[in-house]
């Protein structure tokens, strides 16, 4: 396995785009992986190529950016009764988690990413999960990722490294990281191209496109305002 290779879980959103820039800044060869799991905001998959193009054109990382992969995991959406996979209102559930939580999503994503990395000879797997600005999802927590890395390495007899560059960053710090990596040009590409809105809305705002009221939009907007004030 190549130590200088990485596979980035790239949804087409702000966080994963920042992670892709982070990986391109550090590794010699980077591939991307997206998932179609029956999400209502499937439009995010349509922004992926435009963001990849922007990273190659504006940041000069074309020589490092390798293949893009998209896996069909709609079976996950079929067994998930959530507001991301069903036409229902976003609300809190009795257990304290919002109904945007898709049980097992990141566990499944990272396991499939490791399986693909195994075949591709890639050592480093990068994901944008975060324990700072998030909705309390248990599969975004640092302890979960560390435990999963151990399980994957034992189960596949490989030494994969799961990288979480945003784990301890809030959304403002994520915008700041993008600026450090690619300057204002990268920030503008992420702002205008990427998609985070859970409802798939592309209404333009100063912080990007979205409905402006779902949890993903509220986090992104608040982070943008804090970043701009710094």
List residues forming the annotated binding site for ATP: 10-20
What's phi and psi for 58, nearest 5 deg? -90, -30
Q: Residues at the annotated binding site?
A: 10-20, 197, 211, 214, 217
| C-alpha of 15 from chain center | 5
Cα separation, 129 vs 30, in Å, equals 18
CB distance 13 to 44 below 8 Å:
yes
Residue with tokens 């130590």: 3
For residue 145, CA distances in Å to 162, 198, 212 come to 7, 23, 30
Crossing angle between the packed helical segments 48-59 and 171-193, to the nearest 10 degrees: 100
| Annotated binding residues for Zn(2+) | 197, 211, 214, 217
> What distances in angstroms separate CA 188 from CA 2, 206, 208, 223, one per listed residue?
32, 10, 9, 15
Distance CA 49, CA 139 (A): 27
């Amino acid at each position: 396995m190549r130590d200088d290779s990485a596979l980035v879980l790239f949804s087409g959103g702000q966080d994963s785009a920042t992670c892709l820039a982070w990986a391109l800044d550090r590794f010699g060869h980077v591939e991307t992986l997206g998932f179609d799991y029956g999400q209502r905001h499937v439009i995010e998959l349509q922004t992926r190529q435009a963001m990849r193009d922007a990273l190659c054109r504006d940041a000069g990382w074309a020589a490092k950016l390798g293949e893009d992969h998209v896996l069909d995991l709609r079976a996950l959406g079929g067994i998930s009764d959530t507001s991301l996979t069903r036409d229902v209102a976003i609300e809190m559930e009795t257990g304290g988690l919002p109904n945007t939580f898709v049980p097992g999503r990141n566990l499944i994503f990272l396991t499939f990413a490791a399986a693909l990395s195994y075949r591709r000879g890639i050592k480093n797997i990068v994901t944008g999960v975060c324990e700072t600005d998030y909705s309390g999802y248990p599969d975004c927590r640092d302890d979960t990722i560390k435990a999963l890395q151990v399980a994957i390495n034992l189960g596949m007899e490989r030494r994969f490294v799961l990288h979480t560059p945003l784990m301890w960053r809030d959304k403002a710090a994520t915008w700041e990281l993008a600026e450090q990596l690619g300057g204002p040009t990268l920030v503008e590409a992420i702002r205008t191209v990427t998609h985070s809105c859970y409802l798939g809305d592309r209404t333009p705002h100063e912080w990007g496109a979205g409905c402006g009221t779902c949890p993903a939009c509220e986090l992104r907007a608040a982070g943008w305002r804090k970043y701009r004030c710094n």
